Structure 1
Amino acid sequence: MKLYKVKVNGKTYEVEVESITEVESTPEIKKEAPLNDGKIKVLAPIQGTVLKSNVKVGSEVQKGSVLLVLESMKLENDILAPVTGYVSQVFIAVGQKVELNQLMLIIG
């Protein structure tokens, strides 16, 4: 424990701060996960709200093209196609909230 003095509005306070030696690891964010049949699952890299969708079932996508836009913490985040292919399934809709690693669509 470390002892600090903090001054707020002219008044001094003593504060004890516990030092933490163990660091929590950040969970790995998966953008896509291959399926056994060669199809690619596109997972939400963050939680947020689907602001815009540029694809539907049957849409052809190029690697790096914007599939959809997620809004999180007032920021717009482009979700890019990890591979070139065709969208075979869509599990999200504009306005829908998504959680971290939620399946959004399948390419292949």
Structure 2
Amino acid sequence: MKNFTFKINENSYGVKIVSQEDNTIELEVNGTSYSVKMKEEIKTRKTPTLVRKPSSAAPVEPVKVNPSSSAKTKISAPIPGVILSLNVKVGDTIKENDLLLVLEAMKMENNIVSEKSGVVTAVNVAVGQQVLQGEVLIELE
């Protein structure tokens, strides 16, 4: 069934669980067979429980744009990837939904489009550059 290695007081023990019936487990420790009667009933689940470590990456906040505001808008990478092409440069006037750049992630090309009309004030990436999720790619005003 399952194999384990335990190290106790600098001694290694190879433990193999051979079978489990009711509250009795048949196992081998370094080749010697043992029958272990459990004190409490072993409960088994019908569906497995998925246990995941919490993500270390900070969640990406969606960019909220007020169309009447003249504040800068930052276009961030939605996922980590590589910049395949840049379609704008600093000073370009763009309209809402214009293609800004193409980001390759997991062998898929993702079009990054503008969320509002404006003027490009900063391009923080170059073609071939790898970017992380949430990294600011382009700034608009």
Task: Please give the TM-score of this superposition, normalised by the length of structure 2.
Answer: 0.56
Determine whether 1:19 maps to 2:49: yes
Query: Quick one: distance in 1 between partners of 2:64 and 2:125?
Result: 17
Question: Which letter maps to 2:63?
Answer: E
1:60 deviates by: 1.0
Query: Quick one: distance in 2 between partners of 1:2 and 1:37?
Result: 57
Unaligned runs of 5+ in 1: 4-16
Show structure 1 runs of 4+ deviating over 2 A: 27-34
C-alpha change, 1:53 and 1:98, in structure 2 (3 Å) is same
Query: Quick one: distance in 2 between partners of 1:93 and 1:21?
Result: 38
Aligned length: 92
1:96 deviates by: 0.2
DSSP 3-state at the match of 2:91: coil
Determine whether 1:39 maps to 2:69: no
Query: Quick one: distance in 2 between partners of 1:103 and 1:18?
Result: 39
Query: Quick one: distance in 2 between partners of 1:63 and 1:2?
Result: 52
Q: Please name the residue that 1:91 is paired with.
A: 124
Question: Which letter maps to 1:32?
Answer: V
Computed over aligned residues only, the root mean square deviation of the Cα atoms, in angstroms, reads 2.9
Q: Which structure carries more relative contact order (alpha carbon 8 Å, separation 6+)? A: 1
Query: Quick one: distance in 2 between partners of 1:92 and 1:21?
Result: 37
The one-character-per-residue Cα deviations of 1:18-46 (angstroms, maximum 9, x if unpaired) are 41489x79x75445366x96110111011
Identity, % of aligned positions: 34
